[in-house]
């Protein structure tokens, strides 16, 4: 036979369930404003030149033959804009870590994108040089990386 559950046991189980759900959520606090501004900077950078006279939007659409800037644009839009928006909306720890890792990879690819636009071989310029939009986008991705790592790593230890 089942013994009846007392009110105290029922309340304890309910409180434990609420605590377990709350432990999975993040509270970005004022970091959400910084994340929003960095996402806005990423979106604005798409209108500015990235590679030569090609804007960031043209790089995303494949009008530029440069591989690394195009790969960076996918990381910046996919993880930086879309991932950050979804993570701020649902506020889950797991998504905060996904954003952190994706933005880490994106920041490395972004710095390499700038570097490949500046390097030369045998005094011949390989790339047309990084545009201001690409530089702004890389800075915005690095800012997003710092904020998401800070938020993801701030989870208190489970008891």
pLDDT digits (tens, 9 = 90+) for 41-84: 999 999 999 988 889 999 988 887 688 899 999 999 999 999 99
Of 72, 68, 76, which is closest to residue 85 (Cα–Cα)?
Answer: 76
Segments forming the whole domain that contains residue 121? 28-152
Q: Is residue 44 part of a domain?
A: yes
Residue 91 within a domain? yes
Tell me if 10 is assigned to some domain: no
Structure tokens at 85: 């928006």
Instruction: Give the total number of structural domains in the chain.
Output: 1
Residue 141 Rama label (left phi>0; alpha psi -120 to 50; beta): alpha
158 falls within a domain? no
Report yes or no on 105 lying in a domain.
yes
pLDDT single digits (tens) 117-145: 887 554 455 556 789 999 999 999 999 99
Residues in the chain, total: 159
Q: Which of 105, 107, 87 is nearest to 95 (CA)?
A: 87
Residue 52 lies in a domain: yes
Asked if residue 39 belongs to a domain, the reply is yes
What's this model's pTM, rounded to 2 decimal places?
0.82
Q: Is the residue at 8 inside a domain?
A: no
């Amino acid at each position: 036979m089942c013994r009846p559950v007392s009110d105290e046991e029922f309340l304890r189980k309910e409180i434990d369930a609420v605590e377990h759900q709350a432990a999975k959520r993040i509270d970005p606090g004022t970091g959400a404003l910084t994340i929003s501004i960095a996402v806005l900077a990423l979106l604005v950078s798409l209108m500015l030149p990235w590679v030569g006279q090609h804007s960031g939007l043209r790089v995303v659409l494949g009008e530029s033959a440069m591989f690394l800037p195009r790969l960076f644009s996918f990381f910046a839009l996919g993880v930086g804009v879309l991932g950050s928006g979804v993570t701020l909306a649902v506020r889950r720890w797991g998504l905060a870590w996904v954003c952190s890792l994706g933005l880490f990879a994106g920041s490395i690819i972004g710095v390499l994108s700038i570097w490949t636009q500046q390097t030369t071989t045998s005094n011949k310029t390989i790339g047309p040089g990084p545009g201001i939009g690409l530089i702004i986008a890389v800075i915005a991705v690095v800012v997003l990386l710092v904020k998401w790592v800070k938020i993801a790593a701030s989870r208190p230890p489970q008891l």
